[in-house]
Amino acid sequence: DAKTTQPNSMESNEEEPVHLPCNHSTISGTDYIHWYRQLPSQGPEYVIHGLTSNVNNRMASLAIAEDRKSSTLILHRATLRDAAVYYCILRDGNAGNMLTFGGGTRLMVKP
C-alpha cells in the first residue's frame, strides 16, 4: 500500500488559515487522496478527497501537487472546533474501498 507522511502536530491561531501537508511520494495513478479528521472522543469524519485536480467543499480545500507526490489540506479560517487529528489517506481506486489510517496530524487551535 502506498504510504503517507504527515507532521505529528501543528498549531494555528483561531480565524487564521491552516495548511496541513501530506507527502505520498509512492502514490500510484489509481490512488485517491482522502482526508478525514477525528475530533476528541469521536469517530473519524470525512473532510474531502481528490484524484488530480484541486477540490473545494464547505469544510476545506484540497491542493494536489502536479506530480501528485504531495497534497495540502487547507482550512480557510480555523475555529476552536477544528482542533482534531487530521488523517491523509490513499485509497486505491482499483482495490475496493478500504482506508488505511496512519498516525495523522494533531491540529491545535489557539484562541
Partner 1 sequence: NAGVTQTPKFRILKIGQSMTLQCTQDMNHNYMYWYRQDPGMGLKLIYYSVGAGITDKGEVPNGYNVSRSTTEDFPLRLELAAPSQTSVYFCASSIARGGVSNEQYFGPGTRLTVT
| Binding range to partner 1, per CB under 8 A, among 18-26, 63-71, 73-81, 99-107 | 99-107
Which grid cell sits at 74?
Answer: 487547507
Residue 43 interacts with partner 1 (CB under 8 A): yes or no: yes
Contact pattern from residue 48 through residue 87 relative to partner 1, giving x for each residue in contact according to CB under 8 A and a dash for the rest: -x-------------------------------------x
Q: Which of 46, 66, 43, 40 is nearest to 58 (CA)?
A: 46
How many chain residues interact with partner 1 (CB under 8 A)? 21
Q: Write out the E strands in the chain.
A: 9-13, 18-23, 31-38, 45-50, 55-56, 61-64, 70-75, 84-92, 105-110
Interacting residues toward partner 1 by CB under 8 A: 32, 34, 36, 41-46, 49, 87, 93, 96-104
